[in-house]
Amino acid sequence: MILYELISFEALRVIWWLLMGVLLIAFAMTDGFDMGAGTLLPFVARTDIERRVVFNTMGPVWEGNQVWFILGGGAIFAAWPPLYAISFSGFYLAMFLILGAMILRPVAFKYRSKRKDPRWRAMWDRALFIGSAVPALLFGVAVGNVLLGVPFHLTPSLMPVYEGGLFAKFFGLLRPFALLCGVVSLALLVLHGAGWLVLKTTGDLQSRARRYGVRAGLVVLAGYALAGLWLYFGVTGYAFVTPPAHDGPSNPLIHEVLRQGSWLAAYGERPWILIAPVLGFLGTLLAIGALRSGRDTLPILCSQMAIFGMISSVGLVMFPFILPSSTHPTSSLSVWDASSSHQTLFVMLVAGVIFLPLIIAYTAWVYRVLWGKVTPESIDENDTHAY
């Protein structure tokens, strides 16, 4: 009870905004290399045994990586109910495509090597590619739409209304800036996946992963820089007319919001957040250099730095906004007016403090046990247990 009173409502809102970012970054760092490696499958693997090597680098860990996706969705549902309701209903078709694609991945892992028919295996290879590339692209498209603003409004009773029909909701997401963000997301995870394959494979397959990883890294650099320029010159930001109460009720309609200026004005107000894009660019450059220099472990560590910096840069420039409304700016959701209650956030924090270290410790133990290269010889020796 004393601890509950010591941690203010304002502090809990900021803590859960940070934890939401941590969970999303952890998902991108773990399941992201799965998606990147799956996207690279048709390009780096030329023979059936090479394709099996790629499958077996991911097969033992992909299920554990999905935990961060589930935790992120659960955290949004419990800590930020309006955000969950509006994003999952407004992005319904996109979410459906993402989940459908992600279902293809485990099915491909389980069924691909059940038969030796080349056509059967080629079908599941395509399934893994689709199940990896589509989510990697659409996650970036979603981030781009959040920066642009989403067409919704809240009724006086706080009922969210998303404008447009079902298909309009999906095709309305495919705006040029959002598509650019999708390309950056896909290229970034391909770079990350290349780092994973370099870490886990050898020979020609590893060499091809290096080459494609370098190309993906160059796309990331160009796309991220272009997105920054586009944000500065072509995307309007959001701002409160008067500062909201940080411990006030969760009702966006009591604060007036205007579209004005640029998101990047946040760098002038809080210069320290420049560290995020710097890490994004630096991590990508270092990953490219590590791939070219023949390093095995360094590329994936540097791509993780890039992921951390780029995702953080979005959250930091938007703070305190988490889901702006393009049609009714006052309905925009922010950290200060879209959270659950003080008690709910506190109980969730206690659960997080208990269980997150256990999840991290178990994940670290799994990767330690599975450390090492996957080779054609290791698959031949354990054919009955390999993917």
What are the tens digits of pLDDT across the range 16-26?
999 999 999 99
CB 127 within 8 A of CB 104: yes
pLDDT at 157 over 80: yes
pLDDT at 370 over 80: yes
Q: Of residues 159 and 276, which shows the higher confidence score?
A: 276
Q: How confident is the model at residue 166 (pLDDT cuts 50, 70, 90)?
A: low
Q: How far apart are the first and last CA of the chain?
A: 51
Q: How confident is the model at residue 178 (pLDDT cuts 50, 70, 90)?
A: very high
pLDDT at 40 over 70: yes
Summarised one tens digit per residue, pLDDT across range 192-238 is 999 999 999 999 999 999 999 999 999 999 999 999 999 999 999 99
pLDDT at 65 over 90: no
Question: How many other β-carbons are positioned within 10 Å of the β-carbon of residue 386?
Answer: 17
Q: Can you give the pLDDT at residue 8?
A: 92
Give the CA angle between residues 107, 135, 41 to the nearest 5°.
60
168-178 burial, b for 16+ CB within 10 Å, e for fewer?
A: ebbebbeeebb
| Tokens 């996207």, residue located | 39
Mean pLDDT for the chain? 92
Rounded to two decimals, what is the model's pTM?
A: 0.94
Q: Determine the Cα–Cα distance for residues 56 and 205; give it in Å rounded to an integer.
A: 13
Mean pLDDT within 139-161: 91
SS3 state of residue 338: coil
% of the chain surpassing 90 pLDDT: 71
SS3 state of residue 154: strand
Q: Which of 134-143, 165-174, 236-245, 276-285 shows the lowest per-residue confidence on average (mean pLDDT)?
A: 165-174
pLDDT at 361 over 80: yes
Q: Of residues 237 and 172, which shows the higher confidence score?
A: 237
Q: Determine the Cα–Cα distance for residues 233 and 263; give it in Å rounded to an integer.
A: 10
Enumerate residues 6+ apart whose C-beta is below 8 A from 242. Answer: 255, 256
Task: Looking at the chain, list the stretches that DSSP marks H as alpha helix, in order from N- to C-terminal side.
Answer: 2-6, 9-44, 48-58, 62-79, 81-90, 92-111, 118-148, 166-171, 176-200, 203-234, 266-269, 275-292, 298-318, 342-369, 376-381
Q: Can you give the pLDDT at residue 385?
A: 65
Q: C-alpha distances in angstroms, 299 versus 74, 163, 255, 372? A: 31, 43, 45, 16
pLDDT at 165 over 80: no
Q: Determine the Cα–Cα distance for residues 328 and 263; give it in Å rounded to an integer.
A: 18
